[in-house]
Amino acid sequence: MTASATAPLGRETPAAVEIDRGAPSIEDVVAIARHGARVQLAPASLEAMAASRAVIEQLADDTRPHYGVSTGFGALATKHIPFESRAQLQRSLVRSHAASSGAEVEREVVRALMTLRLSTLATGRTGVRPVVAETYAALLNAGITPVVGEYGSLGCSGDLAPLAHCALAVMGEGEVRDADGELASASMALAAAGIEPVVLHEKEGLALINGTDGMLGMLALAIVDLRRLITTADLAAALSVEGLRGTDAVFAEDLQALRPHPGQSASAANLRAVLAGSPLIGAHRETGFTRVQDAYSLRCAPQVHGAVRDTLAHAELVAGRELASAIDNPVVTLDGRLESNGNFHGAPVGYVLDFLAIAAADLASMSERRTDRFLDASRSGGLTPFLADDPGVDSGHMIAQYTQAGIVSELKRLAVPASVDSIPTSAMQEDHVSMGWSAARKLRRAVDGLTRVVAIEILTAARGIDLRDAEPAPATGAVVARLREVVPPPGIDRYLAPEIAAAVALVEGGELLDAAQAAAGPLA
């Protein structure tokens, strides 16, 4: 099954998602993490877990050391652990690694992290008993969410602290949020839900904390959000071109085909569809386009927006590969060997998380520049300064652009890559780490900022179109009409923050895209 977090994509979120040995989709992860879809474990996954568990149990009495089964961890891997201490070894590992700090991580992120760890367990390559996976599924289905602090992962050896907090909850320890969001002890929450805490056996604690699940979960959530935001940015650009009486001639298919980047082609097609039938744009065909060329922020929108699309496509490729991965160390191979490896290193995911933050900053930067053109009477093509009703008495959207500028500046700081940093840990055993978790945390902030910047552009462009007092294109007219259901038309200065908040909500919910697509047809 697949699901989508966004209405514009036209797919419904399923009530349940089956976790099988194959790769879950991005939509599956978001359905569980964000929309509360129930989790079901496929029978084949339970069988695979039982088979690999048998491998671990056969090694329990082996005189040779096996990492995570009969040894310590990290720099303590040379320490032999006697049989009678191995259950304590797993409990101690989880308790000591549940060491996060800082602000509480969002519920959807923790659920995504748990979903992805469950997905890896279901591959049968980790050696855990089926009951461990079943308990993870039970917590997800009961809406029990472990409390995880923002700091604690370096994106290598797995998202250790965040994953450890989840494992701690499965053991019936630590703090959680119940289905109502209330803070509770894990023991009480599990008891109330009728869930038996797990007593970890050999290797199981280690298997629960070794993975890129946190950063990958945040990547999946960001991908779904950015799919919607890029198309919404195309919509915003079209509104700005129309409101500034620009030309759509530069978006012609034959011109765009001279530079055959797929993202550029898709964004140009969206602009053509949204602007189709615009009297404001069509007037140029009769009177001529007096400016000769529009500014870059209008004319080059498909090139920049398209580059963001292509960056997102690359991120989706990496995410798909990671979703198909069985990340643990050591791992039970298909032929039954227990082998150490380095697949937990988060570099592949960390790089694309940083890449997306760069793209988001640039997309927002171009959006802000289009907004600014509306407010400058020397560049707006006859509109009042700052789109004010009575300039001087009224300030119009002057400070809305300030808000955009502040966000864009922040996004540029967030675009500084986290993945170029590394701080050695574990007595130099873990001497190169990815910082992928940090890259994911800042990308979430970047996605939020981009949402607000694009919403302010749409709010401003709609005001500019209304002030033209001319018929807009069917699609842009539908967008303005939907916006006017919650934001009044131009007038004297009003309390502006609620209007920005209303526009942000419409962008987040995909409702403006729905309005545009109802008039123009599906957008890419």
CA-based torsion, 113, 85, 431, 101: positive or negative? positive
CB 175 within 8 A of CB 146: yes
Residue 479 CA neighbour count, 13 Å, CB half: 35
Give helix 474-484 / helix 213-243 axis angle, nearest 10°: 110
3-state secondary structure 462-474: HHHHHHHCCCCCH
CB 315 within 8 A of CB 380: no
Nearest to 33 by CA among 105, 122, 85: 105
Greatest C-alpha distance within the chain: 89
223 φ, ψ to 5°?
-60, -45
Nearest to 362 by CA among 319, 311, 314: 311
Catalytic residue among 67, 351, 402, 495: 67
In sequence order, the 6+-apart residues with CB closer than 8 A to the CB of 23 are 119, 320, 323, 324
* Token pair belonging to 224: 């779904």
67 is catalytic: yes
How does strand 175-177 pair with strand 149-151? unpaired
Catalytic residue numbers read: 67
